[in-house]
Amino acid sequence: MESKTKTNFIVNKENNTLTIKRNFNANRQLVWDCYTKSEYLEKWFAPKPLTAKTKEMDFKVGGHWLYAMIEPNGTEHWGRTDFTEIQPIDYYKSLDGFCDENGKLNPNMPRAKWHVTFKDLNQQSQVETVVTYNSLQDLETVIQMGMEAGLNSTLERLDELLVSLTK
C-alpha cells in the first residue's frame, strides 16, 4: 500500500528518535488548542477504531493529561502525559507513559520524551514532533502494545479514509 502522504516521518535509529512533521490547514492558535485542550485531543488522538476519553487534564508545567484509549469492545488502555515545559503557542515538552485508571504509572512500560513545536507556514501551521525513546526496543514495545489494542484494523481502513478525505 503506497499512498501519497502529507506526513514527514524520519526515524533516527542511532538516537532512538522519531521526527514527525506535518502541516495543517489552520492558524497556529487553533492547532495549538487541538494539541493542548482535552475536549479537542479526545477527538483525534486515538487512532480509529479506538476512541479517547479524559479523566484529568491540567495543562501546566507539572500537570498531566490522564486519558484512556478505548477499544470498540470496551477494553480501556490508560495513558498519562506529564507536561514538563510549556511555551504557548511555540512549543511544549512532555513525558508519556502507560498507567492504570488512577494514573499510577506502569514501571514495566517505557516512557518517551516529546518535544512538540508549532510554526507559522504561509497560511498554514507546521507541527514538528520529536519523540525520544530510551532504546529502539522501547519503541517496539510501545508499537506491539498498540497493535494488540486493535490498531491493525486502522491500517486496513486507512486507504478508505484517505480516499474520503481527498474527495
Sites of contact with other proteins (CB under 8 A): 5-7, 9, 11, 13-14, 18, 20, 22, 24-26, 30-31, 34, 40, 43-45, 47-48, 135-137, 139-140, 143, 146-147, 151, 154-155, 157-158, 161-162, 165
Residue placing its CB nearer to other proteins in the complex, 6 or 104:
6
Minimum distance between the CB of residue 102 and other proteins, rounded to whole angstroms? 26
Q: Hey, which residues does 110 pair with through a beta bridge?
A: none
Rounded to a whole number of angstroms, the distance between the first and last alpha carbons of the chain is 19
Whether 54 and 69 have beta carbons less than 8 Å apart is answered as no
Instruction: Quote helix, strand, coil % in the chain, to nearest 5.
Output: 30, 40, 30
Whether 81 and 96 have beta carbons less than 8 Å apart is answered as yes
Whether 76 and 98 have beta carbons less than 8 Å apart is answered as no
Q: In whole angstroms, what is the distance from residue 118 CA to residue 98 CA?
A: 25
**Kind plus residue range of the DSSP H or E element containing 41:** helix 38-44
